Amino acid sequence: MMGLSFPMPFGLRRARRALLPFLVAVFVVSLSFLLRQFYAENSVLVPTQGGTYIEGSVGELHALVPWFTVENDVNRDIVSLVFSGLLKYDPESRKIKDDLATLLISDEGRNYTLKLKENLFWHDSTSENPHPVTAEDILFTFGSIQDPAFVNPILRQNFIGVTMEKIDDRTVRFQLEEPYSFFASNLTLGLIPARNFEGVPPGKFDQALDFAFAPVGAGPYKFKSVVPTELSTEITLERFERPLTPDYKLERIIFRIFPDYNSLLSDIRNLHGIRLVPRNTDGNHIIPRHFTAIQYSLPQYVALFFNLDQAIVSDPKLRLGLQLGTDKQKLLSSIHESLIVDTPLLEIDRKDWRYTFDSAAAQGALFASSWHLPEKVRLQKMLELREANRVGALSLQPVVLLDTGALLTVTGSYVDAASGSSLHGVPVRPHPSSSGSWVVSLPSDGSSGSLLEGLNLIRLTSKNGAVLDSAYVWRTSSAKEYRRALSEQDLVEQFVQSRDRPASVPADDRITVTDLYLENGMLRKRLPSDPRDVRVNDQGRRLTLTLLTSPSPPQYQKIAGLVAEQWKDLGVHVEVVVPPTRRGFEDKLLAREYDIVLFGQSLIDNLDAYPYWHSSGIQKLSGSKFDFRLDAYNLSQYSSLQADGLLEVIRATNDDKERLDALQQLKEILKTDVPAIFLYSPQYALAHHSDLHGVKISSLSLHSDRFLTLHDWYVRDERIFRPGKSWFSFFPWLFRRF
Q: Average of pLDDT values for 67-95?
A: 88
| Poorest-pLDDT segment among 91-95, 355-359, 483-487 | 355-359
Residues 6+ apart with CB under 8 A from 293: 277, 285, 287, 685, 686, 687
Over residues 135-162, the pLDDT tens digits come to 999 999 999 999 999 988 888 888 989 9
Check whether residue 381 and residue 435 sit in a common domain. Answer: yes
Q: What is the mean pLDDT of the chain?
A: 90
pLDDT band at 12 (very low <50, low <70, confident <90, very high): low
Check whether residue 100 and residue 177 sit in a common domain. Answer: yes
| Poorest-pLDDT segment among 212-221, 354-363, 625-634 | 354-363
Instruction: Say how far apart CA 195 and CA 32 lie, in whole Å.
Output: 61
Q: Average of pLDDT values for 716-723?
A: 77
Last residue of a domain, one of 155, 188, 212: 212
Over residues 499-523, the pLDDT tens digits come to 999 999 999 899 988 899 999 999 9
Check whether residue 498 and residue 621 sit in a common domain. Answer: no
Q: What is the pLDDT of residue 6?
A: 55
Residue 16 lies in a domain: no
Instruction: Say how far apart CA 598 and CA 548 lie, in whole Å.
Output: 6
Check whether residue 225 and residue 76 sit in a common domain. Answer: yes
- Give the domain extent around 730: 27-42+722-738
Residue 6 lies in a domain: no
Q: What is the pLDDT of residue 94?
A: 87
pLDDT at 224 over 50: yes
Q: Count up the domains in the chain and report the number.
A: 5
Per cent of the chain over pLDDT 70 is 95
What is the DSSP pairing of strand 252-258 with strand 52-58? parallel
Last residue of a domain, one of 212, 230, 246: 212
Three-state secondary structure readout of 97-141 = EECCEEEEEEHHHCEEEEEECCCCECCCCCCCCCCECCHHHHHHH
Q: Average of pLDDT values for 64-90?
A: 89
Q: Which helix (H) or strand (E) holds 483?
A: helix 479-500
Q: What is the pLDDT of residue 186?
A: 94
Last residue of a domain, one of 189, 212, 235: 212
| Poorest-pLDDT segment among 7-21, 172-186, 394-408, 581-595 | 7-21
Q: Average of pLDDT values for 648-674?
A: 92
Q: 124: domain CATH number?
A: 3.90.76.10
Residue 14 lies in a domain: no
Check whether residue 101 and residue 184 sit in a common domain. Answer: yes
Q: 317: domain CATH number?
A: 3.10.105.10
Q: What is the pLDDT of residue 18?
A: 65
Q: What is the pLDDT of residue 1?
A: 47
pLDDT band at 14 (very low <50, low <70, confident <90, very high): low
Check whether residue 69 and residue 133 sit in a common domain. Answer: no
Q: pTM to 2 decimals? A: 0.83
pLDDT band at 698 (very low <50, low <70, confident <90, very high): confident
Q: Average of pLDDT values for 404-421?
A: 91
The answer to whether 605 and 188 have CB atoms below 8 angstroms apart is yes
Check whether residue 397 and residue 311 sit in a common domain. Answer: no
Per cent of the chain over pLDDT 90 is 64
Q: Average of pLDDT values for 58-81?
A: 86
Instruction: Say how far apart CA 551 and CA 554 lie, in whole Å.
Output: 6
Check whether residue 378 and residue 520 sit in a common domain. Answer: yes
pLDDT at 16 over 70: no
The residues that bridge with 516 in the sheet, in sequence order, are 525
pLDDT band at 4 (very low <50, low <70, confident <90, very high): low
Q: What is the pLDDT of residue 3?
A: 54
Residue 5 lies in a domain: no
